[in-house]
Structure 1
Amino acid sequence: MKRRRWTVVLVTLALVLLACCGGGAALGGWAWSRAKVDTAGEIDFAHKLAIPPLAESRVDDQGRRVFDLRAQEGRRDFGEGGVTRTWGFNGDYLGPTLRAKRGEKVLVNVVNGLDEETSVHWHGMHLPAVMDGGPHQSIRPGATWSPTWTVNQPAASLWYHPHPHGKTAKHVYRGLAGMFIVDDENGGNKALPNRYGVDDIPVIVQDRKFDDGGQFAEGDSLGGVGVLGDTVLVNGTVAPYLDVYTERVRLRLVNGSNARTYAFGVVDDREFAMVGTDGGLLPAPIATDRVRLSPGDRAEIVVAMRPGERVTLRSFPEDQGTDFFNRRFTGGGDTLDVLELRAADDLEPSADLPATLAPFEPIDPAGAVETRQFRLAGRNINGQKMDMSRIDAVITKDTTEIWELTKLDGTPHNFHVHDVQFQVLSVDGQPPSPEFQGWQDTVFLEQGSTVRIVARFADYADPDMPYMFHCHLLTHEDAGMMGQFVVVEPGQEAGRPPTGSSHNHGQ
């Protein structure tokens, strides 16, 4: 509270200076100094990391694994000046981890217990558009939406979150999110640490800003990327520590923040193994000491521990491809201590990491039938804002396409595509860095750079129901930095998206 009282004093002083000669410069200098966040070595990791429970499920008479989710209001004391009003699934904040095997048919009953429409998007999941949970599948207050589909993709750390048109940032910021883990018998998944909550840990990282009353402070930063918080929550825990009892621990990192990009590493710069990206396991572990995750991104890393040590997972300053000014006001220069790992004095032996993890078949770009350009600037893609009634691309089922993504302004953006996992072919004509290896559904863009991706649009066609592509900085998405595409059968034309906002499909 003391820090926030001083903030109020400084704001008042800045306003006084603004009213005087030269006050604008003084206010600008104050804003410059306040924009940088550095919590290195300042966090008292006093709270045991909460582990989201595995969602209960049952198998119905059709052989479907059934989950139940309820979006609801809640209250939680984060220790930030008062009891915070929150939203969550089946609880006060965040939601349980859904888990299913490849080949299983699932059914999720989603009840909207809020007083406004919401939706649930299965981020990273390959499924029919009508089950995707985008803005066309809005759920009215009190209604139930029951999407059902067959899980048809490799093992991966996915997540779910709302996607209501124009309000995604608000709904995610208040706490509506959770993980969806897909298991697959193929590959080296069993050789990795795999005991959920023991040596296989979900790590949902979110930054939040609290006002003096302990409520979430929503709004935009001076950098125009949305709210940037100075308090980090991991699985809804402030200042968390994780007790580690094994020689290796697997962290399933999820950037669940609205706007902030993280550059994760360990404070002593030790190398760790990156074993998975957005769409699943890599072909082989990659040794690295940093992994950058933009909003919506995931990565799986395995950290080796020594008995009795304490080390901190930290987000380091990084070059986001912006100018000096924008770097300060969009979080690129921030340092944030995230999670303390506390190793027991006696550690249970862990198996060596396998040399190979999962089968991986590169998509041949020579087979692409179309190359499309997407230029991101301001809050537009290709100079247009989102229109729910407009289809921006029509793609034939079972074809491969190359998409060229270019960011034209100095504000951070990334690019997320629904339904498909893609491969990054190049960045400005050069081979992609290790963080872009494997399967991706979200990619960070740097100013003036062109990222070429390749994807195959298989299995599902629906001329009337679109999938989305958009910037996953959520205020940008809400402001119109989004478009939509349909996948059609060969020779079929696009239809017309639904005109109503609420559609309860899947039952």
Structure 2
Amino acid sequence: MRCHTAQCSRVPGRGAARPTLGSVSLTRRQLLRATAAAAVLAPLVPAVTGCAPGEVVPETQFGARLPIPPLDEGTLDGGTRTFRLAPQAGTHEFVPGKPAQTMGYNGAYLGPTLRAARGERVRVAVENRLTEATTVHFHGMVLPAAADGGPHAMINPGASTNPEWTIDQPAATLWYHPHPHGSTEKQVGYGLAGLFILDEPGTNEAAALPHTYGVDDIPLIVQDRRLDADGKITFDPAGNSLGTLGNSIAANGTLGAVLSVTTQRVRLRILNASNGRWFKFGLADHRPFHMVASDGGLLAAPLELTSVQLSPAERAEIVVELKPGESVMLRSFAPDLGRVNPPDAFGGGKEFDVVRLDAAASLAPSAALPAAFAALPAPEGTTTAVSRSFTFNGRSINNKTMDMNRIDFTAAPGEAEVWFVDNVSAYQHNVHVHGVQFRLVDIDGKQPPPERAGWKDTIPLLPREQNRIAFRMPKYADSEHPYMYHCHLLTHEDEGMMGQFLVAEAGAAGPAGSGTPSPHQHG
């Protein structure tokens, strides 16, 4: 990996040790698009010029074994599957011999992979062993707002909480992470993240795909990390326009990781858990692979690709086929970031090796991929749904920044909604909606690419681009606990690019500052 300024130091090494929101008319959107660049480009430029002083770019040599997060299937307690998570401080070596201060769940860095099935009642007992308050947000989970783990659900040091709900969504690769307003980037950046895998009993898809955890079904949490000369995690100073971009790429917490493959096909459950960097994953020799699932579950059929791009918090499940004895590198190619200035924002123009796949001399046979999975339902109708508009610009959504005491709108339980999400900025955002899985209807009026046609909870918002998404609101009525919607570039989120909504029956009272604006109807 290369950095193009003299400020960067290099540390030789072989990688890590093992260890109504208001309507926005078309005219206004066009006006905002025409004027946004002048307002934002000046503060952007110093934030992305090269590497920060003291930043380390290890000369990564691939050879360290890819660690597999422990699988936690919980314990059955009176019919409820119970998991236990303890966020805590620790140390972890990204550079051998240089321990860094980190955070993890039940350990020093990252957390176990939780696993449950559709129809099960689950409980997550969380004990906060940090010296600061935190939350645990279940990203992509369809669940009651009181169990969602947003910024209102703070867990003080030494305190505990026990969110409980019934799994009611298809098989998918979800994840969990902290969500304290103002310090999410810090806590996720120090290592608080883990996968939450959902299974769906009674379907044939699991048998048709590689599904033995840690053997041919591999969790892959990918993060960029900025390290100083002592191998410690550092962040850009407060107020940085783009957030921290690191030039060291960790897979499951390890630099230079190698996965030993023993089967003909291997399934990689990829999560972009970076604070702000975008990745475009593919194999170094440009061979095709098959994408089988996005954020919220299986696609309609295996999709042959040579690359898949993920903004922060997005997931993709891909199946790679190998021949005995060969090696191939999973690489992040330079991502397509749209009409952006400067061009290297959020990882544009840079390539990184992520994990090397080493096939054994003899490989166990794998089942052939099915021609198709279960058909996906059409996106919710656009004629009868409530329609809302959201304009992303700077650090605001609809010219508002996050106010913990303000409810931006109230929706009815189970109501069909269509959202027009418009990025008028000169740089990238993305959008995550809590408590739902949605479908991307179109991008600037055009059909979305097939890799984004399945269930999603997070989508990229490229500069000057409008996305239309459709979904049903959660069925859980609650006039006190809100859900969030926000940019998942964590600096942007921390600095206020977030709003909140209630799902409640008509006439239900909400917290102070709540309101139920008239929905904006798009033509």
TM-score normalised by L of structure 1: 0.89
Distance 1:143 1:441 in 2: 30
- Which of 345, 362, 379 matches 2:395? 379
Distance 1:402 1:164 in 2: 28
1:322 to partner: Cα distance: 3.4
Distance 2:110 2:4 in 1: 26
User: Superposed, which structure 2 residues align to 1:89-488 within 5 Å?
Assistant: 89-185=105-201, 186-219=203-236, 224-323=241-340, 325-366=341-382, 368-488=384-504
Distance 1:418 1:494 in 2: 21
Q: Tell me which amino acid in the other structure corresponds to 1:380.
A: S
Distance 1:497 1:309 in 2: 62
Q: Tell me which amino acid in the other structure corresponds to 1:122.
A: F
Is 2:210–2:216's contact at 8 Å kept on the other side of the alignment?
yes
Q: Tell me which amino acid in the other structure corresponds to 2:118.
A: R
1:224 to partner: Cα distance: 2.2
- Cross-structure match for 1:492: 507
Q: Tell me which amino acid in the other structure corresponds to 1:160.
A: Y
- Cross-structure match for 2:7: 7
Q: Tell me which amino acid in the other structure corresponds to 2:471.
A: A
Distance 2:251 2:368 in 1: 28
Q: Tell me which amino acid in the other structure corresponds to 1:48.
A: R
Deviations 1:156-180 (A, max 9, x none): 0000000001110010000001000
Deviations 1:81-105 (A, max 9, x none): 6210110000000000000010000
1:329 to partner: Cα distance: 3.6
Distance 1:206 1:81 in 2: 21
Distance 1:458 1:75, change over 3 A: closer
User: Superposed, which structure 2 residues align to 1:27-66 within 5 Å?
Assistant: 32=49, 34=51, 43-55=60-72, 57-61=74-78, 63-66=79-82
1:72 aligns with 2:88: yes
Q: Secondary structure at the match of 1:115?
A: coil
Q: Secondary structure at the match of 1:76?
A: strand
Q: Root-mean-square deviation (CA), in Å?
A: 2.6
1:360 to partner: Cα distance: 1.8
Distance 1:265 1:85 in 2: 31
Q: Tell me which amino acid in the other structure corresponds to 1:123.
A: H
Distance 1:114 1:292, change over 3 A: same
Distance 2:467 2:129 in 1: 41
Q: Secondary structure at the match of 2:180?
A: coil
Distance 1:33 1:397, change over 3 A: closer
Distance 1:494 1:367 in 2: 29
Is 1:426–1:432's contact at 8 Å kept on the other side of the alignment?
yes
TM-score normalised by L of structure 2: 0.86
Distance 1:416 1:134 in 2: 12
1:356 to partner: Cα distance: 1.9
Distance 1:9 1:252, change over 3 A: closer
Is 1:136–1:498's contact at 8 Å kept on the other side of the alignment?
no
Q: Secondary structure at the match of 1:365?
A: coil
- Give ranges in structure 1 of 5+ residues lacking alignment: 11-27, 500-507
Distance 1:154 1:30, change over 3 A: closer
Deviations 1:443-470 (A, max 9, x none): 0011111100001114211111100000
Q: Tell me which amino acid in the other structure corresponds to 1:7.
A: Q
- Give ranges in structure 2 of 5+ residues lacking alignment: 11-44, 515-523
User: How many residues are aligned here?
Assistant: 475
Q: Tell me which amino acid in the other structure corresponds to 1:173.
A: G
Distance 1:422 1:30, change over 3 A: closer
Q: Secondary structure at the match of 1:88?
A: strand
1:31 to partner: Cα distance: 7.5
Distance 2:343 2:208 in 1: 40
Is 1:120–1:163's contact at 8 Å kept on the other side of the alignment?
yes
Q: Tell me which amino acid in the other structure corresponds to 1:107.
A: R
Distance 1:80 1:333, change over 3 A: farther
Distance 1:161 1:172 in 2: 7
Distance 1:427 1:9, change over 3 A: closer
1:42 to partner: Cα distance: 6.5
Is 2:283–2:331's contact at 8 Å kept on the other side of the alignment?
yes
- Which shifted more, 256-265 or 454-463? 454-463
Q: Tell me which amino acid in the other structure corresponds to 2:139.
A: H
Q: Secondary structure at the match of 1:171?
A: helix
Q: Secondary structure at the match of 2:71?
A: coil
- Cross-structure match for 2:26: none
Distance 1:116 1:33, change over 3 A: closer
- Cross-structure match for 1:15: none
Distance 1:442 1:86 in 2: 26
Q: Secondary structure at the match of 1:435?
A: helix
1:318 to partner: Cα distance: 2.3
Is 1:222–1:329's contact at 8 Å kept on the other side of the alignment?
no
Q: Secondary structure at the match of 1:93?
A: coil
Is 1:54–1:97's contact at 8 Å kept on the other side of the alignment?
yes
Q: Secondary structure at the match of 1:169?
A: helix
Distance 2:432 2:450 in 1: 19
Deviations 1:2-26 (A, max 9, x none): 999963689xxxxxxxxxxxxxxxx
- Which of 88, 97, 108 matches 2:104? 88
1:239 to partner: Cα distance: 0.7
1:497 to partner: Cα distance: 6.4
Distance 1:34 1:118, change over 3 A: closer
Is 1:81–1:212's contact at 8 Å kept on the other side of the alignment?
no
